[in-house]
Structure 1
Amino acid sequence: MVVVLDTGLLPVGERIEAAQDLLADNEIPSINRLGSVAGQLWHRFTVWDLGEGVHATQVVGTGLSVLRGDKQLRVAAPERVGLGVQLTGSGTFSHCGADQVIEVGELSLTDGTSVSDYSSSGIGGSKVLIFDYDQLALPIETVRSAATRLKSSPLYGLVSAHIAALGEEGDIEPGPARIMVKSATTQLVRALITTAAADPRQRGDLHDTLYPRIAAYVEQHLGDPGLNPEQIARAHNISVRHLYNVWSARGIPLSQWIIGARLEGARADLARQGRTVPIAVVARRWGFTNPAHFSRRFRDAYGISPRDWQQSH
Structure 2
Amino acid sequence: MHGTGAEADGARGVFEVDSTAPGSAPRGLDAFRRGWETQVGDDVFQLPAFSPDTIGDFRVKGNVAKVHGAAIADLHAASATRTADVPGGDQDLVAMYVVRRGSWTLGGPPGHGDQTVSAGQFLVRHLGRLTAFETSAHLTAKFLVLPSSELKPLLGTRVVTGPADSAEMRLLTALTDMIHTTVADLGPAGVVAAQGTLIELTKAVAKGRFDDVEPRLAPALTQAAKDLANRRLADPELSPAMLARELSVSVRTLHRAFAAVGEQVTTYIRHRRLHEARLALVAPSGRLTISELAAHWQFADGSHFTRAFKKRYGQTPTEYARSTEATSPPPSHSLADSAWPAVRA
- How high is the TM-score relative to the length of structure 1? 0.49
Whichever of the two has the greater Rg, that structure is: 2
- How high is the TM-score relative to the length of structure 2? 0.45
